[in-house]
């Protein structure tokens, strides 16, 4: 395994081991502590505790604790220059260089060097030891800076890898969307057009067979083929919409239903749109489409061959659709509404709308009004 990965995985353990460079020298001073040095050692120990929970939070905790640790450990070094006390200031310099700003880390290092100057002035160390200690401060500071730089490089590498993964995912998504758009274009330009032409040709063939008094079984097969072509055309358009992830406009969906009605019955079917068309939610759009579909189904059943007119109106108050078939005569009032229209009325009620049905001047009319 990569040593850097191992080091990062066991980083909390390593930080705790580094903290021992502070705790153990302080613990070794306990037998020789006086009231003054005991208070200073206690301050050093307490100020070192945030090193166990790096990065310390809130942000001001670590700079304050390292400043106090540097001052208290440097004071202990001056008061008791012999022993392991000197390890604590060097450890403090390492942490300051690694976790604090450059100015703050340099300030901690300068304070430790000041303690070394005091020791030299008091003749506690000779010039060689003083220079060695100053060099050690510089080396420890460089080690801390190197550790900090490596951590920053690792973070930048991880960030770059994350950005690269994101870019690769976005590129793959764009490629997939482009491929889906190509398939959708092929479906629309080839399959949908072919099915539309096939349905029209079958309609023409059916009319010619009717004119020539063809066998009813042949007519039934032609009509069945025509319905299959019409259904295939509808499914092809749905597939194109799904591939493009672009919902079909309500007026276009109604026009498709009327196209199927024209191909199936050979009767005229017209759509008029009033107002400015706008996107409609899934539930209202489904209710409108199912209502138009049910009205057309009833026309096929009760008035075969009747022409149909659908009026779709967009207003600030909502959406209104009216389906009227023209039978050429006034229809008889229905005793009860069928289950299909009854279900549509219940669906309209759930959306706060209203469905009304009844005879018109020369046919049957279904009207649905939904609020905005």
CA angle 205, 207, 212 (to 5 degrees): 95
59: pLDDT strictly greater than 50: yes
74: pLDDT strictly greater than 60: yes
- Decide: 333 and 290 in contact? Cβ < 8 Å: no
245: pLDDT strictly greater than 90: no
Reported as a single tens digit per residue, the pLDDT across 314-333 is 998 899 999 999 887 777 66
* Average pLDDT rounded to a whole number, residues 191-217: 75
* Average pLDDT rounded to a whole number, residues 123-137: 80
* Average pLDDT rounded to a whole number, residues 288-302: 87
- Can you give the pLDDT at residue 188? 64
* Average pLDDT rounded to a whole number, residues 28-44: 83
Residue 43 belongs to what H/E stretch? helix 35-48
- Can you give the pLDDT at residue 237? 66
* Average pLDDT rounded to a whole number, residues 346-368: 87
Q: How far is CA 151 from CA 99, 147, 148, 154, 246, in A?
A: 11, 6, 5, 5, 46
229: pLDDT strictly greater than 60: yes
φ/ψ (deg, to 5) at 354 = -145, 135
Q: Dig out the tokens for 199 from the structure.
A: 């349905």
Which regions of the chain carry the CATH code 3.30.565.10? 267-372
- Can you give the pLDDT at residue 193? 65
- Can you give the pLDDT at residue 253? 82
- Can you give the pLDDT at residue 324? 92
- From the list 330, 329, 323, 325, the residue with the least C-alpha distance to 355 is 323
Q: How far is CA 22 from CA 13, 17, 27, 95, 313, in A?
A: 15, 10, 9, 11, 81
Helices (H) and strands (E) in the chain, counts: 12, 5
* Average pLDDT rounded to a whole number, residues 230-249: 67
In angstroms, the CA 16 to CA 13 distance is 5
1: pLDDT strictly greater than 50: no
The CATH class for the domain spanning 267-372 reads: alpha beta
In angstroms, the CA 310 to CA 329 distance is 19
The mean-pLDDT minimum among 44-48, 112-116, 330-334 falls in 330-334
In angstroms, the CA 243 to CA 233 distance is 15
Cis bond leading into 58, ω under 30°? yes
243: pLDDT strictly greater than 70: no
pLDDT band at 15 (very low <50, low <70, confident <90, very high): low
Question: At a CB cut-off of 8 Å and minimum separation 6, what does 177 contact?
Answer: none
User: How far does Cα 112 stand from its chain's mean position?
Assistant: 51
DSSP 56: P
């Amino acid at each position: 395994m990569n040593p850097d990965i191992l080091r990062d995985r066991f980083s909390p353990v390593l930080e705790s081991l580094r903290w021992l460079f502070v705790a153990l020298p302080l613990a070794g001073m306990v037998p020789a502590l006086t009231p003054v040095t005991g208070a200073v050692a206690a301050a050093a120990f307490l100020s070192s505790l945030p090193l166990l929970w790096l990065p310390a939070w809130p942000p001001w905790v670590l700079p304050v604790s390292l400043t106090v640790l540097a001052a208290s450990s440097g004071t202990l070094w001056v008061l008791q220059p012999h022993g392991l006390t000197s390890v604590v200031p060097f450890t403090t310099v390492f942490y300051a260089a690694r976790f604090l700003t450059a100015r703050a880390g340099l300030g901690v290092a300068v304070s430790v060097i000041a303690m070394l100057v005091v020791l030299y002035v008091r003749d506690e160390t000779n010039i060689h030891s003083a220079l060695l200690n100053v060099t050690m401060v510089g080396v420890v500071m460089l080690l801390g800076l190197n550790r900090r730089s490596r951590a920053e490089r690792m973070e930048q590498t991880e960030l770059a890898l994350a950005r690269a993964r994101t870019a690769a995912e976005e590129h793959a998504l764009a490629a997939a969307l482009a491929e889906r758009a190509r398939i959708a274009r092929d479906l629309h330009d080839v399959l949908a057009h072919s099915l539309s032409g096939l349905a029209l040709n079958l309609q023409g063939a059916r009319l010619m067979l009717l004119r020539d008094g063809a066998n009813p079984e042949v007519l039934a097969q032609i009509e069945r083929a025509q319905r299959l072509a019409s259904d295939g055309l509808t499914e092809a358009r749905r597939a194109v919409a799904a591939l493009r992830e672009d919902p079909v406009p309500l007026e276009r969906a109604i026009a498709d239903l009327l196209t199927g009605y024209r191909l199936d019955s050979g009767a005229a079917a017209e759509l008029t749109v009033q107002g400015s068309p706008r996107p409609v939610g899934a539930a209202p759009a489904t209710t409108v489409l199912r209502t138009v579909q049910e009205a057309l189904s009833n026309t096929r059943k009760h008035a075969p061959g009747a022409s149909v007119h659908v009026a779709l109106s967009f207003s600030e108050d909502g959406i209104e659709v009216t389906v009227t078939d023209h039978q050429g005569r006034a229809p008889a009032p229905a005793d009860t509404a069928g289950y299909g229209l009854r279900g549509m009325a219940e669906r309209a009620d759930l959306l706060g709308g209203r469905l009304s049905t009844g005879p018109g001047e020369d046919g049957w009319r279904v009207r649905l009004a939904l609020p905005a």
